[in-house]
Amino acid sequence: MIEKEGKQHVVLCEGFDDRSFWSGWLQHLGCTDPTDRGKKLANDAWGRPVKGRGRYLFFTPAGSRVLVQPFQGSDNARKAAGEYLQGQVYRPDRMVLNLDSDLESGSGNNARDAVRKIIEHHGAEVKAGSHGPFHLEGVRVFFVIWECDDSDPTPGVPRKQTLERLVAASIRAAYPDRGPVVEQWLAAEPRAEVTTHKNYGYSYLAKWYAEHGADDFFRAIWRNEAVARKLRERLEKTGAWATVASLVAH
């Protein structure tokens, strides 16, 4: 039998950009990355090497471990959660389900509906306004939805509620002159056939964060104190900040 060393938490997120954002956020909260962005081998709380499936491991100041695992698309969220809740892998102490809202600003709760179905599938009830914990199969489960309540239209901020909207709104709030520049550039001819939230997010990367490279962009914003403060303001409003601060503290 493998002895467990401290608590093991798991964050399940949609993709690699989300993983990078979580990496920056966790390190902003004092966590360390023993894998050096996946380059070195490190063990989880059960002594198992963390490798494959795009997973990163972090050590918290409290002595617990946080495994960040992208599940590559919202359609895979239920399967990824089930692996941890149904005993296919060791059950963590806490688990966070993280998805984009994917809705236009203020237009509904589809991501919450998806999370609600997962939670109800495992026998718990989701009350309106609750972010957790939901006690499923001996695991405390929370959810974090990427969204923010910035007004629309805001130059340089996409309407679709995604990680890119949260990041663009925070950068623009920290540096108000940047939003109009991004909006003008995206509107300039020749225009892209379709302009999405990705176009907005990577426009900020290209103009102000290119030296960090694409993979580091969503970490680099956490190292910018002005942007980090604006991110915190928005994450506090949705309850996400309290959820993650508590995760890191236990």
Between CA 162 and CA 128 the distance in angstroms is 21
Confidence band, pLDDT 50/70/90 cuts, at residue 6: confident
Amino acid residing at 206:
A
Domain residue spans of the chain: 1-250
Greater confidence, 51 or 9? 9
Q: Which residues pair with 96 in a beta bridge?
A: 11, 142
Write out pLDDT tens, residues 172-194.
999 999 999 999 999 999 999 99
Instruction: With a cut of 50, say whether residue 146 has pLDDT above it.
Output: yes
Rounded to 5°, the CA angle 90-92-96 comes to 130
Residue % of the chain over a pLDDT of 90: 68
pLDDT score, position 51: 83
Write out pLDDT tens, residues 27-62.
999 999 998 887 889 999 988 899 877 899 999 999
Give 122's DSSP letter. Answer: T
